[in-house]
Structure 1
Amino acid sequence: MDRHERDRRALEAARLTRQLTGRGVVGVALVWVDNSGVSRTKAVPVERFERAATWGVGASPVFDAFTPDDTIVAGRYAGGPVGDLRLLPDLDRVTVLTALPGWAWAPVDRYTQDGDLHPQDSRGLLRRAVTQLAEDDLTAKAAFEIEWVIGRDEDDFVPGARGPAYGFTRFTEQSGYLADVLSALRDQDVRVEQIHPEYAAGQFEVSVAAEDPLGAADTSVLVRETIRAVSMRHGLRASFSPMVVAGGVGNGGHVHLSLWREGINLHSGGDGPCGITDTAESFAAGVLERLPALLAVGAPSAASYLRLVPGAWAAPFQAVGYENREAAVRLITGSLGDESCSANLEVKVLDQSANPYQCLASLLFAGMWGVRAGLRLPELVDVDPATLSEEERLRRGIRRLPASLTEATDAFEADGVLTHAFGSELAATIVDVRRAEIARFADATDEDIAAALRWAF
């Protein structure tokens, strides 16, 4: 960072400090997401925010090697006691937290002491993916669906709502709670599209408006932490784990993604499946092709594979379909007449144990590989792939996605496209952290895994 940029940041941070102080903020939480999908933080008093924004706040790089249960992995590039990084807040995303009075939040970029972006910084990774899109005159819009379960007891899980799936009874049980969630998100300038009860006991879902990829990842972190805070104020605890109770229906983290060029949505107005253009089709085909490896990033916990089973609408087959909720990649056209605005693709196999920045970056890198390779989608699947015989799935090219974290990690490690895009240090550390979690749960039952990770995410 040169002197001009440092001076600019100092002026902007001074302006923000005055605003924050006027709104009763006494501290700013500086937040990043580690390789296990856990949000980590350091915080500064508001009086020190200008200094933090200009020179950064020190933090060990050891967090790159944390597992979800806070075990530190002795990895190839991370995990030791030596070294320091500087956390620099994104001044455009500073947000006063309605549900945590006195506090503001800011996502951070992590730099070395020499001023270089840390090679394992996830926001920097996503920025590189967005830059790659721009090289082909493309932009993207994205949004995460946030599913969560509320509970009343942290040891023996008791759902915080008992009404029927998608039922208004459940809505009535927690109407005040949900109203507070909506109010907090509105006050934090998060645009909510819809909120509703979900299938599992005590489960809800909120959908937010699409943004640029970096904004979408930031917003997903902010939404989850807001829900967590509102839940605690209501005497509840929120779980975003892929599997809260073994044998149940877990929490997904579906991603909606659309590709644009010069303000035109490339998922409509074309001659491809469901009206997508050639570029959008190639992008979707790239995502589909690299899904086995991508799961090590987008479904990266042992609990993820308790969710990714046939018949649970988790889409565990490598297939694409039109509005097919058991296809890993779902093509969505939107309502007739609104296709140019709302058409997109949904990737359904992802969950919220993922680092959202790495998750979106992997989708963009995979999609752009598909564009540059000129890939085409296979035949769309219009049934639940689990209902097809093995012979029919083989004929249609439908494969079962990895059924374990081991399989997904092996696929990622062998995937030259994604590991090259992530860089050697980050790719190796992701593998090291996944292998540690695999060893941690080698002899665990499904119940053990669900209980151990219930409150980790």
Structure 2
Amino acid sequence: MTTLADPVPGGRPGDVERAGALSGELAGRGVHGIVLAYVDTAGIGRVKTIPTAKLASAAAWGVGMSPVFDTFLANDSIVTTDVLGSPDGDLRLYPDLDQLVELAAQPGWAWAPVDRITQEGERHPGCSRTFLRRTVQEAAAHQEITFKAAVEIEWAVARPPDADGAFVPAVTGPAYGATRQVELSDCAAELLAALARQGVDVDQFHPEYAAGQFELSVAALDPVAAADRSVLVRQTIRAVARRHGLAVSFAPAVSGQGVGNGGHIHLSAWRDGVNLHAGGDRRHGMRPEAESIAAGVLGHLPALTAVTAPSPASYLRLKPSQWAGVFTAWGRETREAGLRVITGMAGHRDQAANLEVKPVDLAANPYLALGCLIAAGLDGLAKGARLPQEITGDPAHLSDAEGVRRLPTSLGEAVEEFRTCRPLRAALGPVLADAVIAVRQGEIGAVAGLDDDQVAAAYRWKY
């Protein structure tokens, strides 16, 4: 479970006492510090840490942090909006005790995601985790719909970079190959063991297509917990790799050419314990609500890319005919379409059916990405939207006249789509929506004049 109540000064009922007990238990197991984790608008994981003995104080009064981090770029430069980016003000970080976990690959440390509130005890309008939680709560309250989600993790394993930061794959086996799995065998086994100790339910782990690339899939959870898990899994992958003398990159592209790292999102809508993507009379068993949600996501996909593919390096990955999903098209099990409808195996569809959103990478803040996808789906639900004609095969061979549109080919194009998308901007609110635009514009400026290889190098070790 995820704590769904907003933090309050003095602590939520029972939190301070619970934090005190947890602090004692962790200390007894040799845990000396707790990582308080959040993700900024640029998609960079940022942290503050506290001694384990201070957990009860953090549950009561939070831990201080400047609001300026909402407008950090990936290179640590700072941009501004009309309310963010100044040196003024303070926020309080509150750990979610339900998600607190001892880090198996970092002895002596525990980890918890945080929500951020103001010193006056109000929700911080720039907190992406709060945005996702509120979006989920409103869907449950007004439409009686809940969601399950999972974020796929793709990464490239490398030898530790020299001063020039070059990427040198740590394994040489072929795509999806048994040789590559053997080459990473010890590290991979430790990773699976660490994730199991942390309560992460892994569905699959395998070598992927690109040089040195692997993928890990986890079980679906409520969206806030799914975003938390995405952050935790990456922290664990990085820590295990380091213990084996390896480096990892979750960047959308580690080079200017070839297949990049994705972060596909799986999403399903439920009502009263029933999966709305199965057992219905619409195409492929969808119920009317599921089709409208899918149509809302598909219709807003060009604007969504400003959130799901937020880095200039994202557009090195988003190329046709590379299974990146760069067209506004949908189909059952069509991996080239921007939206893939998954029905699952016969006999298991009531549990397995879901949507896979393809143009997503791990430069995306998972809280922003999931919140915006759900908001887009709810907009489609409110309008009773219907899906257009389904496609089969590679949409790169279809024409605009056939209803298939290429997604933005640059971050600048994506930002312009986002600017004019009222449903997404309204869902985010003006403070967070303006932060998204400002940070994206800052990233565009940071790589102005660079070629593809230089853009890839600029972000290679940031994520």
Short-chain TM bin = over 0.9
Distance 1:3 1:235 in 2: 43
Match of 1:100 among 106, 124, 133: 106
Q: 1:75 touches 1:433 (CA, 8 Å); kept in 2?
A: no
- One-letter code aligned to 2:120: D
Residue in structure 2 matched with residue 431 of structure 1 by the alignment? 437
Q: Determine if the alignment matches structure 1 residue 260 to structure 2 residue 270.
A: yes
Structure 1 residue 153, shift from structure 2 partner:
3.5
Residue 150 of structure 1 corresponds to which residue in structure 2? 157
In structure 1, distance between residues paired with 2:13 and 2:96: 15
Q: Distance in 1 between matches of 2:290 and 2:344?
A: 16
Q: Provide the residue aligned with 2:235 in structure 1.
A: 225
2:50 match: secondary structure: strand
Out of 363, 375, 384, the position equivalent to 2:373 is 363
- Asked if 1:168 is matched to 2:168, the reply is no
Listed one character per residue, the Cα deviations across residues 172-209 of structure 1 (whole Å, up to 9, x for unaligned) are 00100100110110000000001000001110000000
Partner of 2:453: 447
Give per-residue Cα distances to partners, 1:78-136, cap 9 Å, x unaligned. Answer: 11110100000001110100011000000000110000110000111001110221111
Contact map agreement 1:77 1:428 (CA 8 A) in 2: no
Give secondary structure in 2 for the equivalent of 1:284.
helix
Task: Identify the match of residue 256 of structure 2 among 246, 249, 252.
Answer: 246
Among residues 391, 404, 409, which one is paired with 2:410 in the alignment? 404
CA distance in 2 between counterparts of 1:74 and 1:276 reads 44
Correspondence for 2:39 among 29, 33, 37: 33
Q: Deviations over 1:405-454 (max 9, x none)?
A: 00001111111110011000110011011001111112110001100100
Instruction: Report the Cα offset of residue 7 of structure 1.
Output: 5.6
Distance 2:214 2:122 in 1: 41
Query: In the alignment, what sits opposite 2:4?
Result: none
Q: 2:144 aligns with which of 112, 137, 142?
A: 137
In 2, distance between residues paired with 1:195 and 1:348? 19
Alignment of 1:42-441 (within 5 A): 42-134=48-140, 135-154=142-161, 155-388=165-398, 393-441=399-447
In 2, distance between residues paired with 1:171 and 1:443? 39
2:455 match: secondary structure: helix
Quick one: structure 1 residues 237 and 4, their matched pair in 2 at CA, closer, same or farther if it must change by over 3 Å?
closer
Q: Distance in 2 between matches of 1:74 and 1:401?
A: 28
**What residue identity is the alignment partner of 1:137?**
E
Cα deviation for residue 239 of structure 1 reads 0.4
Query: Aligned in 2, Cα 1:379/1:7: closer, same or farther, shift over 3 Å?
Result: closer
Could you tell me which runs of 5 or more consecutive residues in structure 1 were left unpaired when the two chains were aligned. Answer: none
Identity of aligned residues (%): 53
State the distance in 2 between where 1:96 and 1:209 align.
20
Give 1:426's aligned amino acid.
Answer: L
Q: Secondary structure at the match of 1:195?
A: strand
TM (norm. structure 1) is: 0.98
- Structure 2 residue runs of 5 or longer lacking an equivalent are 1-6
1:13 to 6, 19, 26: 19
* Aligned residue type for 2:445: A
Q: TM-score, normalised by structure 2?
A: 0.96
Aligned length, in residue pairs:
453
Query: Structure 1 CA distance, aligned partners of 2:87 and 2:371?
Result: 28
- For 1:44, the aligned partner's letter is I
Q: Which amino acid aligns with 1:172?
A: V
Answer whether contact 2:10 2:61 (CA < 8 A) is retained. no
CA contact (8 A) 1:56 1:88 kept: yes
Contact 2:331 2:390 in 1 (8 A): yes
Any conservation in 1 of the 2:10–2:60 contact (CA below 8 Å)? no
Distance in 2 between residues matched to 1:9 and 1:141, nearest whole Å = 26
| 1:255-308 Cα deviation digits (max 9, x unpaired) | 011110111101011111111111000000000000111111110000000000
| Counterpart-to-counterpart distance in 2, 1:74 and 1:131 | 30
In the TM superposition, what whole-angstrom CA distance separates every residue of 1:14-73 from its partner, at most 9, and x where no partner exists?
Answer: 111111112210000101000000011111111111111111000000100100111111
SS of residue paired to 1:400: coil
State the AA in 2 paired with 1:140: F
CA distance in 2, matches of 1:2, 1:52: 11
Residue 157 of structure 1 deviates from its aligned partner by 1.1
Residues 295-343 of structure 1, C-alpha deviations (whole Å, 9 max, x = no match):
1111000000000011111011110011000000000010111110100
Deviation at 1:395? 2.7
- One-letter amino acid matched to 1:438: I
Please report how far the alpha carbon of residue 4 of structure 1 lies from its aligned counterpart in structure 2 after TM superposition. 7.7
Secondary structure (helix, strand or coil) at the match of 1:331 reads: strand
Query: Could you give the per-residue CA deviations for residues 234-255 of structure 1, whole angstroms, max 9, x where no partner exists?
Result: 1111100000111021000000
Deviations 1:354-404 (A, max 9, x none): 00000000010000000010000011110101122xxxx223211010000
In 2: Cα distance, 1:240 partner to 1:5 partner: 35
Q: Structure 2 CA distance, aligned partners of 1:85 and 1:348? A: 34
Question: How far apart in 1 are the matches of 2:189 and 2:305?
Answer: 34
- Asked whether the 8 Å contact 1:88–1:110 carries over to 2, the reply is yes
Would the aligned equivalents of 1:141 and 1:210 in 2 still touch at CA under 8 Å?
yes
- DSSP 3-state at the match of 1:13: helix
| Residue 77 of structure 1, CA deviation | 2.1
- The alpha-carbon deviation at position 3 of structure 1 amounts to 7.3
Paired with 1:110 and 1:85, the residues of 2 have a C-alpha distance of 6
User: How far is 1:2 from its partner?
Assistant: 5.8
In the alignment, the residues of structure 2 paired with residue 296 and residue 5 of structure 1 have an alpha-carbon distance, to the nearest angstrom, of 35
Partner Cα distance (2:127, 2:382) in 1: 26
Q: 2:334 is paired with a residue of what secondary structure?
A: coil
How many angstroms apart in 2 are the aligned matches of 1:101 and 1:203? 27
